[in-house]
Structure 1
Amino acid sequence: MMTPTPESDPYVLPPGVPSVRLTGCFVAPDGRPLTGKLTFAPPSVLTMRDADVIANTVAVVEIAEEDQGRFAVDLIATEAPGMSPSGWTYLVTEKLKGAEMRQYHIMLPLRPGGGSVDLADLAPVSAYSGRYLPVVGPTGAQGPPGKDGQSYTADGQGLNLTGATFSLRLADASLAKSASGLTVGLVPTSKGGTGSSTAAGARSMLGTVGKYSALLPAMTVGVPFDVVHGLNTLDVLEPSVREIATGELVNVQAMVIDANTIRISVAASHPADAFRIAVVG
């Protein structure tokens, strides 16, 4: 925008309405004046008690070719005594030929000495519909008495009412309640849960088997290797050892050391990651 010389405005606001003259100039980057339309939208209803005026529509400014991109318009100030609401903002909409439509909010408070202000000098602000002034009228007649307050009854099926406070009764220790809400803990197998917080414990409670598999490190004939499977059971099946390159299953000697460990020995040495072992139990 460029600073223009304010033009005359054909519309005159009623006496007593606080106003600010807004000016501006729109040009293309090459200096060519732009034409189009600007709208300035106040809140849906704006009242000025001292001036006996109500404003409830937008102000429209047309920029024609002969205006050379310039405009000048007198707008109601956004802050003035006796105005409701007060401290509001205008929604400005620019619809100019050859340019993208743009919308933003501005404030137009009264200026000392009643001088004009250029649109290019106004930084867009956050939208605000203003603060409406309460209008206090005479006291009305006594209204009819209100209905008795609604009473509530708990169903007794886990929901209890003591005085004005509802409380939730928990069915068993698998449930817990706190300020953050209801928490489900260990659900017993009788209610479709596992009754455990670990995989091994869940398998034990449900009577199912688990599986462990891993690549073997480098193995040497005559040097046993302990495989820690973590299945937490002594009842493991014969481990399966598969050669990665060929898929061939090979025999190994295996011994149960404890509930989480077996010891294997190989008949031939091999490098690391050449075989994969699987343990089921």
Structure 2
Amino acid sequence: MLPENIPTVTVTARYLTPDGRPMSGTVEFRPPALLTHAEEDLFLGGPTRATLDAEGRISVVLPASDAPGWNPAAWTYTVTEKLAGLPRGGRVYQIALAAAVPAVDLADIAPADPGTPQYVAVPGPPGPAGELGPEGPAGPAGAVHSVNGHAEADIVLGAADVSALAAASAGAPGGVATLGTDGLVPAAQLPAGGGAVASVNGQTGEVLLTATDLGALTQAAGDARYLALGGAPVASVNGLTGAVTLAASDVAAVPAGEGVLLAGPQEIAGAKSFVTPPSTKAAPATADQLTRRGYVDAVSSAGTWTPSSMGFSGWAFDPAVSSASTPQYCINGWVYLIGVPLHAPTTVKNVVFYIPGYVGGTLSVSSYAGLYTDTGTRVGLTANLTTLIKQTEGTTVVCPLAASYNAAAGNYWIGLVVNGPNPSNSGPAFLRAASVGEAPGGSARMPGKFIRHGRLSTTGQTSLPNSFPTDKVVADSNSIWAALS
């Protein structure tokens, strides 16, 4: 197979007898003895034979004889026809195959007359254009067809035809002035009087005018009366120029009547919110005046003890009204709930009990106290009570929560579960209030309201639950005192 870089030509032919029958035989294409193609490292030689097929046809692909790289550069194929039925078998002739003609039929290039030379050259592609020849001689001058619109044979132009003044008008009245050798208009061409200025503002001779002569201000008078450019001290007011009229919004102010006065009476409409509550030292003088918390506390709690008086945030009840002789002993595994109201938001850090007496050492590590919301969610838990309640004959026990809790105003339960001691005699005693009836009288309430003293219906607990359904709270006869701080 020939290398792809060598262009080829497909040669076809068909041979028939005069009555249309296909001829048989071969057609041989032979290049010169041996060709060399240096770029492809190739030698090419020997014949290529094409045998006529059943229709008398041949088709053969041969290298183009004008392809670059051949040595010799110019050569032709010798075509030898060896056909049955012809004297001497057929013809022998030369052909050249041009790469520019990739397909050729022998009928188009073979010699038709045996008397002509046995060589047919195939036209190649057109060669490059030659260089431009020298410029030819100049032609004759063209004729003038018109001048300034005149097309007659003999044209005579006047000054008006070229938009000029007639020479006779130079220096003449009604004409144009001319210049003398000094570059000035001669005096003879000037109007009567010589063209000189007779007077200036009534003055003659060498006139020197002052501001007064012109009805003008002197520099000093002008500076005193008018501002110099750029001399005005104010260029604009809040970005406004011209006749400026400012409104309250232009100076980031509140319109009159819309601000709160610092002194004097004033009615304020609409709701107002204060980031910092206002304070006052004065007591209210009328029933509809606002006042300070200290005044309210002093009036509402006058002569009484409050949780804050004792350092508590809230308590179940005043410990002074507790039962004088009967403490509360807790049954193992019961979860007791002691209600404590908080009337203001506060941070709860401790649960507090009063222990009238305890032999010590009987509590197990399954004893805890905690804080619950009125929905039954635990929000605080102490360490086990063995580390908090010690042997005593009467003391206030502060039980810190593991983490402080920011409590909103509302009702809370202190949860308590005790395990270990004999509930009759060896457990810690808890201060309590009166416990008359199945549920203590101190827990009286309307149906469905918050149960002030109760317990969970589930027993045998060794810890405080994370939460509990509030419908599982049972009103109980316990009325243990507890507080929050």
TM class by smaller structure = 0.3 to 0.5
TM (normalized to structure 1)?
A: 0.38
Query: Which structure shows the higher strand fraction?
Result: 1
Bigger radius of gyration: 2
TM (normalized to structure 2)?
A: 0.22
Greater relative contact order, per chain length (Cα 8 Å cut-off, separation 6+):
1
